[in-house]
Copies of this chain bind each other. A is one copy, B any other.
Amino acid sequence: MRVEIVEVGPRDGLQNEAVTVPTGVKVEFVRRLAAAGARRIEVTSFVRPDRVPQLADAEEVLAGVADLDVAVSALVFNERGLRRARAAAVAEVNLVLVATDSFSMRNQGAPVAAAVASSRRLAGQAHDAGLRVTLTVGAAWGCPFEGEVDPAQVLRIVEGVPDVDEVCVADTIGAGTPGRITSLLGAVRGVTDRPLRCHFHNTRNSGYANAYAAITAGAVALDASSGGIGGCPFAPRATGNIATEDLAWALGRDGYETGLSLPGLLDAAALVERTLGRQVPAQLGRTDPFPPGAGASSLGGTR
């Protein structure tokens, strides 16, 4: 069985880092990920540079990877962002909403209902422009400001932006657990027939268990970040995404096809680790690969 891993390290991974990563390193990061077999990469976000300075070079990074045979996506929050995405010729725009009003005011500057209406318009405009459109519902399993999230809030957003090519349900702060993943995805399945993707953070060590629960519940794609880096500038103490290499290792051992090469992923993570100057949360890069040799060419090379 195939599971598609969407690489979000360049965007969700880097956006919250204090170290300003040079544009050239970002380009090299994306190129290594592509070389490792990644075919969908969330490269950047069209946000205001003063709000997320780390991603101010969105256009430059995209230009640097334009020759790759990869489906490149970027986050878009408004019409200005959509214009930038079209000009940069990305293949896919990701419209991100969050499940609660408190978080939505901080993340989008508008309450949920207004953000839904805006995203519905954006989805139509993006489709008219020939772009693939995905919808992410963030804070679906818990909000850093309001605590527990009623599943009905998630369903209202999914129903409110129906004209999308894929729905991603995101556990922005790592509050989800496998039983809750199963039940919410079942409910989401009841209100949309779009392919389901999931996005997990490993804040409380439940991220990988959640990923398996999501696959079992019918998700066909999972976000992950190289090295397990990541966070959210507007969600206090959100920690890293689940790590691409650790997820790909586990899925591979269980017979799932991801199309990813472990040595290649370790090469990409080594670049991130060196650039950030700290140990990344992923475990595979700092232990023996298993079975011996699975990641050897990388471990013996760049690390």
Choose from B142, B287, B292 the contact partner of A290 (Cβ within 8 Å): B142
* Given A147-B292, A212-B213, A236-B288, A283 contacting B179 (CB threshold 8 A): no
Contact residues of A between 1 and 24, Cβ < 8 Å to B: none
CB A254 to nearest CB in B, in angstroms, measures: 3
Choose from B205, B213, B253 the contact partner of A179 (Cβ within 8 Å): B253
Assess whether A203 is in contact with B236, with CB atoms less than 8 Å apart.
Answer: no
Task: With a 10 A CB-CB cut-off, give which of A202, A211, A228, A253 has the most chain B CB atoms.
Answer: A253
A101 proximal to B (CB < 8 A): no
Of A34-42, A102-110, A125-133, A243-251, the one touching chain B: A243-251
Contact residues in B for A292 (Cβ distance below 8 Å): 147
A282 proximal to B (CB < 8 A): yes
Question: How far is B204's CA from A236's CA once the two chains are assembled, in angstroms?
Answer: 26
Question: How far is B208's CA from A179's CA once the two chains are assembled, in angstroms?
Answer: 13
Assess whether B287 is in contact with A237, with CB atoms less than 8 Å apart.
Answer: yes
Contact residues of A between 237 and 280, Cβ < 8 Å to B: 237, 239, 242-243, 246, 249-251, 253-255
Assess whether A254 is in contact with B287, with CB atoms less than 8 Å apart.
Answer: no
Assess whether A284 is in contact with B212, with CB atoms less than 8 Å apart.
Answer: no
A291 proximal to B (CB < 8 A): yes
Contact residues in B for A208 (Cβ distance below 8 Å): 205-206, 208-209
Assess whether A254 is in contact with B177, with CB atoms less than 8 Å apart.
Answer: yes
* Given A209-B211, A212-B212, A203 contacting B254 (CB threshold 8 A): no
* Given A205-B282, A209-B209, A284-B204, A175 contacting B290 (CB threshold 8 A): yes
Residue count of chain A within 8 Å CB distance of chain B:
42
Task: With a 10 A CB-CB cut-off, give which of A205, A249, A254 has the most chain B CB atoms.
Answer: A205
Contact residues of A between 127 and 154, Cβ < 8 Å to B: 142, 144, 147-148
CB A192 to nearest CB in B, in angstroms, measures: 24
CB A221 to nearest CB in B, in angstroms, measures: 18
CB A229 to nearest CB in B, in angstroms, measures: 14
Q: List 21 A-B contacts (CB under 8 A).
A: A142-B290, A144-B288, A147-B292, A148-B291, A174-B290, A177-B253, A177-B254, A178-B250, A178-B254, A180-B253, A204-B246, A204-B283, A205-B246, A205-B250, A205-B282, A206-B208, A206-B246, A208-B208, A208-B209, A209-B211, A239-B283
Interface residues of A (CB under 8 A from B): 142, 144, 147-148, 173-175, 177-180, 202-206, 208-209, 211-213, 228, 236-237, 239, 242-243, 246, 249-251, 253-255, 282-284, 287-288, 290-292
Q: When A and B form their complex, which 5 residue pairs have the shortest distance between CB atoms, in order from nearest?
A: A179-B254, A209-B209, A205-B246, A177-B253, A177-B250
